[in-house]
Structure 1
């Protein structure tokens, strides 16, 4: 059953990279009664443990989202900004952003005739301030904002901000709630600063020393008009990663995911991504190496305020991950 209320709660929570406190609190409240231990490490990763006597398995989903950071405020109260993570000027133009204190602004550019060569440094944020003095009562240098948009139920799919990677967090939360017990020692890690270079996953994996790992994240789609070729489509099932620019997935984990899907008649697809990366890229290189794989959700319009995923893909990902973690690995 697709829990759209939980998706909305996760999506709407404020949590640009490096500022994950609010989204971490939301996730903590969802999982604390369903695990044996919960802790927050130095970096801010939330680690929820289900104890078992078998191998140590790390399941990672990042809490952070892309955002912007204020670099200057002019005399008329307009804000200059830079990116936190992969923020496109073309996608951002005309969109709304929200700061941690609730202040909302809109992103615009200096001259419309410069559209062809648009860069973030040629853009500004209008928060309705009449001058710098008023602007400083609402925001300050170094303040961070995320995109601001409403969730839309599209029927077979859902559209909202920050599904990268709140949808991975959703899958981990729902799996935690379904798993009454596991023969494995499970470490569900909701990581920080993935959008800035897989930072939280790197330190968490070093501390946990897992035997195996699975990352949960989105991936690009190849089913939109005139898009880059990619054999991953919405509604075709969760995607079992073969590779991306950060990893060639270990055959043990790849085969475990594929065989479990086949055994349980769970639809799946294979992901061969020629760009990008996820937390698993840092995890598999930790210490002496970790047997690692990844489960991806096809997502249209990644790193925009209106990302789209399939409800069935998400439900099937929860089912597959639950079946995998129920096994003695």
Structure 2
């Protein structure tokens, strides 16, 4: 299953080569013009008549990096992206060095009676235990700056509609873009489409900023995930209740014309959707929206539980409905939003 391959592939920010090769292999089946730019983004161009549209999803995932190795062989870490430290305790990790992978477990010293058990651990209090000495680690190539990857995990919960695994943020978006490329190959799209698979979103939305230089889109859609809030009292982003259409996030106001068009398309075809207004986080869409004097931009997302942890949870219906909605958008683009 393609989604499984995307989720299990390694691709921490700055080291996206493994996931990029998988996406490149898939996109070449459906789009002739697929290139890697100098920064590492993958850009596929499906020529067509009508407005030029940019769809963007990021390839990279959160991870860790070796910050230091103490005399006991304990590896101290630095975050790549934002990670919830509490969720890392007990997580299996892999450190790729030279021609081997060194396996380890993220651990925390035991809480003594003199410490407050309510104190939430921070990344500084976590270590990676590999069972090796400092000398062994150094000899095998582990050094300051070595990447520490979350071990591959993917599967389903009790219901096969609930997929779980690492890097759902944003391999779900990558999967959606590949499926869209597959679908529009079978009909003449009313758009000139650029599919962008960006790098280094988790550390600063950098891939989006560089990818836009050689593209002149009339409008754009970010395809990403968002945090599910269905365990709260006033839920607005529930998994299994449709893709989200962003109205506002922490740093971006979505284009109201594109949002209105998406809502109308969803209503016509009975596709469930949820509107997102949030105060936390943003996406690659921000750097697209403020490029080149301003580009009308919104985000179509999939709500997931356990965002930015080693194992997220998403609903396949939301993923498939996001694909349906975006396919409709490419078939029937909002020409009115160009005026």
Q: Does 1:157 align with 2:162?
A: yes
Kindly indicate whether the alpha-carbon contact (under 8 Å) linking 1:283 and 1:290 is maintained by their aligned counterparts in 2: yes
Q: Counterpart of 2:337?
A: none
User: For structure 2, which runs of at least 5 residues remain unmatched after alignment?
Assistant: 335-339
Whether the 8 Å CA contact 2:167–2:312 is kept in 1: the answer is yes
Whole-Å separation in 2 of the counterparts to 1:105 and 1:229: 39
Secondary structure of 1:247's aligned partner: coil
**Who is 1:232 aligned against?**
237
Matched, 1:62 2:58: yes
Query: Across the two proteins, how many residue pairs are aligned to each other?
Result: 322
Q: Counterparts of 1:328 and 1:241 in 2: how far apart (Å)?
A: 18
**SS across alignment from 1:33:** coil
Q: Distance in 2 between matches of 1:242 and 1:228?
A: 21
Give the 3-state SS of the residue equivalent to 2:28 in structure 1: helix
Contact 1:105 1:125 in 2 (8 A): yes
Q: Please, which runs of 5 or more residues in structure 1 have no aligned partner?
A: none
Which of 67, 75, 78 pairs up with 1:79? 75
For 1:98 and 1:207, how far apart are their aligned partners in 2?
Answer: 36
Q: Is it true that 1:140 corresponds to 2:143 in the alignment?
A: yes
Match of 1:210 among 197, 203, 217: 217
Q: Which moved more, 1:133-142 or 1:30-39?
A: 133-142
**Contact kept in structure 1, 2:227 and 2:237, CA below 8 Å:** yes
Q: TM-score, normalised by structure 2?
A: 0.91
- 1:1-329 matched pairs, under 5 angstroms: 5-101=1-97, 102-113=101-112, 116-129=119-132, 131-136=133-138, 137-154=140-157, 155-180=160-185, 181-224=188-231, 227=232, 229-329=234-334
**Structure 1 runs, 4 residues or longer, greater than 3 Å off:** 227-230
Alpha-carbon distance in structure 1 between the residues aligned to 2:310 and 2:155: 11
Deviations 1:151-187 (A, max 9, x none): 1212221111100000010111111101123121101
- TM-score (normalised: structure 1): 0.94
